[in-house]
A and B are shown apart, each in its own frame.
Chain A
């Protein structure tokens, strides 16, 4: 029996009562939902809209090319190359095993090695990050891999910009090389270069040479583009992006450096180290500088190929470079110092002239040895020289002549004159790792070695041995000062900075750090020394008389930097018969043309026994080539007239 009776009054009341609370529930529920909607969409709408954009937009970096480096004639020295690399995205590779097999036939990497790379990449960075399988693909490989892309998704050929050094080993110490930024550098670099530049882990930066010194100019500013991706990080093919458009940020290429370097001369300088004579290839360094401080060529030998750093260097290869006894990683022009040997004698001569100890014609007896105190000091010539003047003393590099001047001057005077030429301090050339060399004095010895200066040491230091240490670049500065009668120049390598359109941004002028004035050293004394230096090459007894140049008169000084002290018995032993590590270093510092010098060449060859046979031929080749090839090109600002004889 169904209830079909009309409703009673009491029942109506019940129903109205329930109607009420059902209505309240509905209103309450509606209010809860709508107020929550209001909270999310209106109050937090903007913020959440942004979150949704971050969600779907993946920022991808567009690599900015690094600035290029040119020589003074706009010939390219450091370049950028496009590099092609093969990547696999673990997420999309459908049949890794098959793919690895097919790929391995093209790139010659074992299939299990490829699979391993993909798997470790997936573990480390997740399935969406492409794993680099091989860099530096050849074009043939790319063509073959392109075909494989039809069979396997997830294979990609990506392009990156890598640094290229067309001169290879030559100039590596000057240009430097690139490498990944170290974790502890990121913070300090960002602090140093903010807000223009930003560094993050994985960035490639200059590690040495000009690349690191000029990082802030060479470095470009990476651009960004926004790619719309779905939750699987796949590029979206829909055009939802039309709703909001995101302008990609274009990369800004780095600035170019125009150097003072002459590419051709640089190549000549480098090749002149590869000699085929009795001594063979020379280890050491050479720097060629114009009289205003512009560096024309800069070689440290042996060298390394900076391109291998761009191509990825194995630890073993790196260790080989680090532990190579010939120190290929060291920039020997400024990062290594040597005793100047006889190349120091002109400074002693200038001091003696200035102090009035001698005139240019004063004759001093120079026998084969000098007994001083309890020791005997030798000359290289067993017969001695007899009474000679300053010109002959420098021409023949007679030791006893300078021993005697040394005794008269004493170490503190010697140090004073050496310091006039800025020895013992950095030249402050803008390159990394420069060392200052060393000029001792009596105070220093007492303070640091706790001993008084012995008069016998004056003799040793007068011929550039003992505690004195100089870099080849410092010697170039000294001889350039002699050439210019007292100008201590500030050497520099970067002439100009230009932007991508070759518009000049900055240019650098030659600077003189200081001038040795007439009261310190009279001008005529410099001229005297220049005449003497000319005799070293052109005199009949000159220590470099074998290296005359037809086109131009060269002046210079040979020097021998002793590696170890020798006893009386072995001093006259043939240097070439000693073990390599005990052989002397050879110096030759030259200026040319002798009458009106334009360039200075400083050459040091390690363990080559003598400056005359080790270093002088290199200097000769450089100067010879320079005046033969470059004078016509009007490279030099100084007069074009042939030098007077």
Chain B
């Protein structure tokens, strides 16, 4: 190849605005986590230190992937898919039952959740399939069959676990990517019509009572304030009571006094909002949006279609997790058990997120290679 490669050092080729945004969000997460686990009588003091280890591992994964050629993921996508599908089936039989569903596989050090990794692997698969398309014209129905099959097999398995939240997340992320790749308007309309027509059937035959409850509670949180609505109400109180400047570091009564449920994981944003108020929340949301825009920007800078779809996929992954999680804590969306990337405590969440961001970083790194 004869194309001149710009002479840039390894360090300079890294996307530093991406890295700085990630590190800033991780630090915000650590401050937050310290705030709710510092108390002497707390049973969660160790979580802060565990999270430090996860962050160290996550950063290593991020840097490692940054320097790997992302085409490797495309090449091994089917192998990863096959392996993960095996795990998913295994989980359905040998997984640990947690709050009524089998999702986890105990790997000793941590619990491995195959449904989480499927989010990333399906992005690899889609990038591989969609990038083979010659032009940017809209996809036809026949072209859609292959990607849909790849998506629906794990989704149906995950629904049967049952873990509707993760299944919906996968559907939302993957359909975002497909719509981004452009689908015929008519197909989209048919699809929407199809969804609407099967939803009453799903309500009666697929949804479990607790899932129906969650949806009903979302519509009116007051219907069961001590039960299903409790989380939303306490979370809204936490966020609202933060007012403009917040109650201050380690002074959020809702979170410190354990009124806030799942405050280390799914409701971490409420802790932040309570203690740092409107100002702190806006800064965090803007940082997330900035991070996601960097992701999309990298997509458009990418030299090949694989890179475009990988970045778009990972950015959508970040976007939907952020939007649905924060929306949920504020009572805009129903309660779904998904963590806030980078801020929530948890190894699997952090490692998957850092993998996703690592892929973006890798695409960004390689934009100069041609």
Contacts and interface: CB of A to CB of B under 8 A. Distances in A.
Contacts of B244: 41-42, 45
A15 interface: yes
Contacts of A40: 236, 239-240, 330
B183 interface: no
A448 interface: no
Nearest to B256: A240
A11 B136 contact: yes
Contacts of A238: 39, 41, 256
Interface in A209-257: 228-232, 236-238, 240, 243
B237 A48 contact: yes
A36 interface: yes
Contact of A41 (B239, B248, B258, B304): B239
B259 A231 contact: yes
A30 B286 contact: yes
A317 interface: no
B293 to A, nearest CB: 6
B288 to A, nearest CB: 9
Contact of B304 (A3, A15, A46): A3
A49 B257 contact: no
Interface stretch (B87-95, B139-147, B319-327): B319-327
Contact of B258 (A30, A44, A48, A232): A232
Given A15-B300, A40-B239, A231-B259, A56 B323 contact: no
Contacts of A236: 256-257
Contacts of A46: 243
A52 interface: yes
A49 B241 contact: yes
A4 B370 CA distance: 8
A51 B40 contact: no
Given A30-B289, A37-B281, A52 B237 contact: yes
Nearest to A32: B332
A2 B326 CA distance: 39
Interface string B251-290: 1011011110000000000000110011001100110010
A26 interface: yes
A14 interface: yes
A2 B128 CA distance: 11
A38 B237 contact: no
Interface residues of B, number: 53
B305 A3 contact: yes
Which secondary structure dominates where chain B touches chain A? helix
Nearest to A238: B39
A14 B136 CA distance: 7
Interface in A1-30: 2-4, 10-11, 14-15, 18-19, 22-23, 25-26, 29-30
Contact of B323 (A15, A33, A232): A33
A52 B241 contact: yes
A365 interface: no
A228 B273 contact: no
A2 B319 CA distance: 28
A46 B237 CA distance: 10
Given A37-B278, A45-B240, A237-B40, A29 B257 contact: no
A34 B332 CA distance: 11
B180 interface: yes
A229 B257 contact: yes
A52 B254 CA distance: 6
B25 interface: no
Given A26-B292, A48-B237, A240-B256, A41 B277 contact: yes
A360 interface: no
B71 interface: yes
Given A33-B323, A55-B253, A49 B243 contact: yes
B241 A37 contact: no
B296 interface: yes
Contacts of B274: 52
Nearest to B320: A29
A237 B242 CA distance: 22
A236 B257 CA distance: 7
B131 interface: yes
B367 interface: no
Contact of B243 (A18, A25, A45, A240): A45
Contacts of A32: 327, 332
A203 interface: no
Contact of B253 (A10, A18, A240): A240
A430 to B, nearest CB: 50
B243 A55 contact: no
Interface in A308-340: none
Nearest to B250: A240
Contacts of B323: 29, 33
A46 B41 CA distance: 30
Contacts of A34: 282, 285
Contacts of A11: 136
A37 B136 CA distance: 38
Contacts of A240: 250-251, 253, 256-257
Nearest to A41: B278
Nearest to B3: A4
29 contacts: A14-B136, A23-B293, A26-B292, A26-B296, A29-B289, A30-B289, A36-B331, A37-B239, A37-B330, A41-B239, A47-B240, A48-B240, A49-B240, A51-B237, A52-B237, A52-B241, A52-B259, A53-B253, A55-B234, A55-B253, A55-B259, A56-B257, A228-B253, A228-B257, A230-B258, A236-B256, A236-B257, A238-B39, A240-B253
Interface of B: 39-41, 71, 131, 135-136, 180, 234, 236-244, 247-248, 250-251, 253-254, 256-259, 273-274, 277-278, 281-282, 285-286, 289, 292-293, 296, 300, 303-306, 319, 323, 326-327, 330-332, 370
A-B pairs, top 10 by smallest CB distance, nearest first, are: A48-B240, A45-B243, A52-B241, A230-B257, A40-B240, A14-B136, A49-B241, A231-B258, A41-B278, A56-B253
Interface of A: 2-4, 10-11, 14-15, 18-19, 22-23, 25-26, 29-30, 32-34, 36-38, 40-42, 44-49, 51-53, 55-56, 228-232, 236-238, 240, 243
Given A30-B285, A51-B241, 11 more contacts: A2-B306, A37-B278, A37-B285, A48-B237, A55-B257, A56-B253, A56-B254, A230-B257, A240-B256, A240-B257, A243-B251
